[in-house]
Amino acid sequence: MADERWQTLKAERKNQTGSRNFIEVKRTKDAETGNEFITIAKGFTTPDGEPRYNKAVTVPLELVDFVSETLKKMK
């Protein structure tokens, strides 16, 4: 059963070419507090097509610009 406390507002997934691995970026909202977060997750797709997640990092919405700008500088 899904956790009703967290609402997914938007999610996008990019598969690596020639692989079952993917990166997913998801915007979620805590239904109790109203706080929003961006989660960047790494995972893979099973042979049955189900996503499985290996690792993730979650960033509060107020720090997304900082993380984005820093990543662009490191490119």
pLDDT reading at 4 higher than 90: no
**pLDDT tens-digit map of 16-70:** 888 899 999 999 999 999 999 999 999 999 999 999 999 999 999 999 999 999 9
Structure confidence at residue 2 as a pLDDT band (50, 70, 90): low
Q: How many domains does the chain have?
A: 1
**CATH of residue 51:** 3.10.450.700
Q: What is the DSSP letter of 19?
A: S
* pTM given for the model: 0.82
Closest CA to 37 of 69, 63, 59: 59
Asked if residue 1 belongs to a domain, the reply is no
Question: Which domain, by its residues, includes 40?
Answer: 6-74
Three-state SS at 32: coil
Asked if residue 41 belongs to a domain, the reply is yes
Backbone angles phi, psi at 19, to 5 degrees: -145, 160
Asked if residue 64 belongs to a domain, the reply is yes
DSSP E strands, 1-75 = 6-15, 21-30, 36-45, 51-60
Asked if residue 49 belongs to a domain, the reply is yes
